[in-house]
Amino acid sequence: MNADPFRKLVRSEGVRLYRDLPWRRTRDPYGIWLSEVMLQQTQVVRVCDRWSAWLERFPTVGALAQAPVADVLAAWQGMGYNRRALALHKAAMYIMERFDGEFPRDASALCELPGVGPATAQGIRSFAFDLPGVYLETNVRTVILHHFFPDVPAVPDKELVGIVEATCPGPQVPEGRFALPEDERDTPRTWYYAMLDYGAYLKKTIPNPSRRSASYSRQSAFEGSRRQKRAALVRCLLEAGEGGLNAGEARAALDKMEACAGRPAVAPDVAQSILEDLAREGFCQKRSDVDRYFVAH
């Protein structure tokens, strides 16, 4: 495959469409990791504000690791998918314990962290350390599908991986006799920023190519879902503070939410079931002596 024309196009579009986002002004792996996690399910415009606010509250991975679960969940409210916050907290503790606070550069070591998969791991490697690899994120997937698989439905990721790997540049020699000219110094960091910005542009201007990926799935409705009820009970637990909640109070809170939305009351066992799930996943703890659930403060 001759990747040069494609690289030239992406490089040009990357310059034209470049977004000056706050996490692009750092090489701190903690801040870059945070942006990768936040961007998984949240629009860029919202992440811009929340990313900075989070770093003011938890400026280092050590500060995040030492924070109570309640503080971490409270800082995350409004972002959705509370599991991400819990995974950030667990991963921060793992980094402090396993790596003495230093982010590993190896992809397999990064994937040991809770909530970190291959794409997030390579995002950290590319943007913090300028290391090459396969960063198969939704905007990158969009670009590859648009240029190499036009009108092909249900393309599996295994068909994309080789192209992503072949087109990603390796680290360049910054100076000396083997250095490339300034306008040809693509690195994984600059390359994937260009791919992200070009892919975001494509999704706004043409029918979204990523829908032709075999891994594409439409998100289920949030309103009235169990996911919405879980999020509501996490907020209720945070508001309850050290007093906690019992199943009856949790059910009353859910019934109130459903009534406001014009939906019927929840089934008798729903609140109890969600509380048990949240406790099992580490969002809260149950005190059996009082039959109440608490978030660790």
Rounded Cα distance, 190 and 171, in Å: 11
Q: What is the mean pLDDT of residues 201-219?
A: 85
Read off the tokens for 242: 């050290």
- 3-state SS, 23-68, equals HHHCCCHHHHHHHHHHCCCCCHHHHHHHHHHHHHHCCCHHHHHHCC
- Determine contact, residues 223/232, Cβ cutoff 8 Å: no
At 207 the pLDDT is: 85
Mean pLDDT of the chain: 92
Q: How confident is the model at residue 171 (pLDDT cuts 50, 70, 90)?
A: low
Tell me: the pLDDT tens digits for 256-268?
A: 999 999 999 999 8
Asked if residue 239 lies in contact with residue 179, where contact means CB atoms within 8 angstroms, the answer is: no
Give the torsion sign (CA, 134, 135, 138, 141). negative
**pLDDT above 60 for 178:** no
Enter the tokens of residue 32: 């870059």
Rounded CA-CA distance 28/61 in Å is 11
Helix (H, G, I), strand (E, B), or coil: what is residue 120? helix
Q: Of 13, 36, 56, 112, which one is the catalytic site residue?
A: 36
* Tens digits of residue pLDDT in 65-123: 999 999 999 999 999 999 999 999 999 999 999 999 999 999 999 999 999 999 999 99
CA distance 209 to 151: 9
**Residue 276 pLDDT exceeds 80:** yes
Residue 197: pLDDT over 80: yes
- pLDDT for residue 1: 56
pLDDT of 175: 47
Name the β-bridge partners of 286.
Answer: 293
Which pLDDT value is given to residue 218? 73
At 143-159, the pLDDT tens digits run 999 999 998 999 999 99
285: enclosing H helix or E strand: strand 285-287
Q: Could you tell me which of 230, 244, 254 has the C-alpha nearest to residue 291?
A: 244
C-alpha gyration radius of the chain: 22
180 touches 172 (CB < 8 A)? yes
Q: pLDDT digit string (tens) for 239-253? A: 999 999 999 999 999
Checking if the pLDDT of 184 tops 60, the result is: no
pLDDT at 212: 84
159 is catalytic: no
Which band of pLDDT confidence, cut at 50, 70 and 90, is reported for residue 185?
low
Residue position matching structure tokens 């034209």: 16
Band (173; pLDDT cuts 50, 70, 90): very low
Q: Could you give the CA distance from residue 258 to residue 264 in angstroms, rounded to a whole number? A: 6
The percent of residues above 90 in pLDDT, for the chain, comes to: 84
Q: What is the pLDDT of residue 192?
A: 98
Instruction: Say how far residue 99 (Cα) sits from the centre of its chain.
Output: 22
Calpha distance 136→269 (Å, rounded)? 40
20-65 per-position pLDDT tens digit? 999 999 999 999 999 999 999 899 999 999 999 999 999 999 999 9
- The pLDDT of residue 210 is 82
SS3 292: strand
